[in-house]
Amino acid sequence: MPFAPSPCTLTPDLTVKQAIAAMQKAGVGFALVVEQQQLLGTISDRQILSLAASEQNWQDCLVADVLAQQMPSLPGSELSQAIEQPSLAVETYLNQELKSALETIELLETQLRNQEQNLEQSQSRLDGILSSIEDVVWAMIPGTWQLLYLNSATQKVFGRTIADFLQQLSLWQDMVHPDDRGLVEQAFESLYRSAREDIEYRIIWPNQEVRWVSSRIYLIKDEQGNPIRIDGITTDITARRQIQEALVYSALHDGLTGLANRNLLSDRLQQSCRRIRRQPNKLLAVLFLDLDRFKLINDSLGHQIGDQILITVAQRLQTCQRMGDTIARLGGDEFVLLLEDLESPEIALRVATRIHEALKAPIQIDGHEIVISTSIGIAFGTAQSCGDDTVANLLRDADTAMYRAKAIGQGKHEVFDHSMHTEALKQLETETDLRRLLTEAETAKGVSSELRVYYQPILALETLEIEGFEALVRWQHPQKGLIAPDEFIPIAEETGLIVRLDQWVVATAYRQLDLWQQQFPNLGPLSMSVNLSGKHFESPGLVAFFDQMLQDTKLAPSCLKLEITETAVIKNPEAAATTLEQLQRRGIQICLDDFGTGYASLSYLQAFPFHILKVDRSFIHKLGANQQDNTAITRAIVKLGNTLGLGIVAEGIEEWAQVEHLKSLDCSHGQGYLFSHPMSSGDATNFLVNAQEPAT
Ligand code: C2E
Ligand code: MG
Ligand code: MG
């Protein structure tokens, strides 16, 4: 507070106390200091009195007042000096102050210059960094799209120059893909709440190329919280997106044909089921396709040609599809068509017919002309039938119907009905029971509570002597009675249980033969024929299994006969030849069963080490009954077998006339209901007992 002079009477005979009081009264600021200094003894009374009494310009008191601010820190001598010559003290003080202020200014200026230099350096470093990075760094004024900054990556990422953006403020929005504009606008709106947004969207380059970018956007506010800037970094993510899309595509599509795969089909089916629930007058249809004889083609012509066929089939199926239909490949030779929005079931049937037609034209691959057909199962879904678990059910039902179509013949289609489902369940039950029975037999030294081996004698037609037996499996079911092999062997083959089943039959039959040979030594060395399924014949360990059998039973290998069909051999002729030779080397006899019904080339008869031809009963059945053609075929087969030095067994002899006829054709052996139906081991033993008793 500046000192304001006030009247104060000063006389020469003042006491020190009075002088100080007078000074205080006059408002002289340093009076208090003087008093303190006096108490400390650093100022003499004389000095105080002269100070008080001196005829000073009161203006000095003002200066002195300033001095008072400093005085507490002044040493006593300087204080008295200052009191005596206040103007000089003030001047000195001010000079010092000025000097130090100038020094401070100079220092600050130097610091400022350094800082400016540093700033410039960092600015150019920053510019260098920003122009060298591959991402677009930008800043704009909120709400206006007016640019504050944009780095040179703009050209690389947006395909446009910085000038383009400066000239056309709306370019930011215009270049965004129309489908993603909503997304981008929404992100800019949300930014005012969230302060940071991350978005991925498509932009269109001037050359119309669509590219993916990701932008990280920040809203910058001032101290009052008002938005002042939007900063962003935009990165080109096209390559990453393409990889992602390729991954998603391959997760949902079949690699070979490019069709939808099981995952995508399930997804589409699910959506379709959901939609149909809201459309009571519409239907959806699942067409389950399985190519006929594809495995045979694949095995004989090789997988590369197999793949080509699948690709061609996929292409032809696409020509049968309507807009919005889904075609999927489930794997192997299985395809599925999902038809939606059907007004009536007939449309699905028409599509099935179109598919059969489309596949009819032969496929030309590498000089091969391949004719392919497909069996199709159709299942329908309606608003009433489509529930949560319908997807799996629809596929299952269409698959079941496809099996039914296959059973009818090649190139057919069938619509699923619930009796098929019952049938499928029955098959599943059979599989489960069979598995249980085999496990039980394997753990009980071959004894089974329900599985049986029946034996049908094979006789020399000339002498009617029993040469041996064919072992035929039966299932003595507690509820269903005696089940014939046709009812469960196909299921055993499909499920792979056939290997265990055949092995059980072989072991049981050989044990039985062992017993009979001991029991009936005078009947000569009886033989035992067992049937081997194609699946079993292909399985590894087959030869080792027979080695073990020979070791366990001590039977002469020549008494053991294996019956295989033509289809088992033609699937993989090289492997079949190797296996047959190994078995033959052990002395085991090989019979070609059901001869004449398969597709084997006659040259196979010579190429493979067969010992016996079994003429299928379809030829024997019609023998002689004014069936010239059949007789001719049978005669040719028998002649061929005899010429090649093979034994001949005629199957299914039911009449004596057939025996006579066969004898006239030079057929040596036969079996059939005429001599005996297949019998249980007990009945077959009695049969042998009767056979060894001389006829009375
Ligand atoms: P297959 O090997 O050709 O067996 C001959 C079939 O003809 C037997 O039928 C037999 O009962 C029947 N049969 C015999 N004589 C006559 C006759 O005079 N008239 C008629 N109509 N039929 C006669 P089954 O036992 O029903 O066997 C059918 C097929 O099942 C067999 O044909 C064979 O391929 C297969 N099979 C039977 N047992 C086994 C087995 O243990 N393993 C394998 N893998 N297949 C077996
Ligand atoms: Mg047989
Ligand atoms: Mg047969």
Domain match, 276 and 234 both: no
Looking at ligand 1, which atom is closest to the CA of residue 505?
41
Measure the CA–CA gap between 543 and 566, rounded to whole angstroms: 19
Contact 416, 325 (CB under 8 A): no
Domain match, 232 and 167 both: yes
Domain match, 454 and 518 both: yes
Q: At 561, phi and psi to the nearest 5? A: -125, 135
Residue 249 inside a domain? The answer is: no
Domain match, 434 and 410 both: no
Residue 455 inside a domain? The answer is: yes
Q: How many CB atoms lie within 10 A of CB 407?
A: 11
Domain match, 219 and 152 both: yes
Domain match, 262 and 378 both: yes
Measure the CA–CA gap between 350 and 347, rounded to whole angstroms: 5
Q: What is the reported pLDDT for 3?
A: 36
User: What residues have CB less than 8 Å from 661, skipping those under 6 apart?
Assistant: 623, 624, 631
Measure the CA–CA gap between 234 and 368, rounded to whole angstroms: 56
Q: What is the reported pLDDT for 306?
A: 94
Ranges of the chain with pLDDT below 50: 1-12, 55-59, 62-63
Domain match, 502 and 635 both: yes
Query: What's the domain count of the chain?
Result: 4
Q: Whose CA is nearest to atom 23 of ligand 1?
A: 652
Q: Which ligand is nearest to the CA of 562?
A: 2
Q: Which of these three, 190, 211, 242, is where a domain ends?
A: 242
Q: At 650, phi and psi to the nearest 5? A: -90, 130
> Among 606, 690, 594, which residue's Cα sits nearest to residue 640?
606
Q: What is the reported pLDDT for 19?
A: 66
Tell me the residue length of the chain. Answer: 696
User: What residues have CB less than 8 Å from 10, skipping those under 6 apart?
Assistant: 19, 22, 52, 53
pLDDT digits (tens, 9 = 90+) for 419-452: 877 877 888 899 999 999 999 999 998 899 999 9
Q: Is the dihedral of CA 125, 131, 137, 141 positive or negative?
A: positive
Q: What is the reported pLDDT for 434?
A: 96
302: containing domain: 257-416
Q: How many Cα atoms occupy the beta-carbon half-sphere of 227 within 13 Å?
A: 19
Provide the CATH number for the domain around residue 566: 3.20.20.450
Q: Which ligand is nearest to the CA of 671?
A: 1
pLDDT digits (tens, 9 = 90+) for 68-85: 555 555 555 665 665 566
Domain match, 510 and 637 both: yes
Domain match, 162 and 37 both: no
Looking at ligand 1, which atom is closest to the CA of residue 498?
44
Q: Which residue ranges have their beta carbon within 6 Å of ligand 1?
A: 456, 472-473, 484-486, 489, 502, 505, 531-533, 563, 593-594, 617, 651-654, 671-673, 678
Provide the CATH number for the domain around residue 339: 3.30.70.270
Contact 212, 200 (CB under 8 A): yes
Let me know the angle formed at the C-alpha of 590 by 588 and 592, rounded to the nearest 5 degrees: 170
Provide the CATH number for the domain around residue 72: 3.10.580.10
Residue 693 inside a domain? The answer is: no
Domain match, 230 and 276 both: no
CA 475: distance to chain centroid?
Answer: 42
Domain match, 175 and 303 both: no
Residue 124 inside a domain? The answer is: no
Looking at ligand 1, which atom is closest to the CA of residue 454?
25
Domain match, 188 and 292 both: no
Q: Whose CA is nearest to atom 38 of ligand 1?
A: 472
Q: Which of these three, 214, 242, 270, is where a domain ends?
A: 242
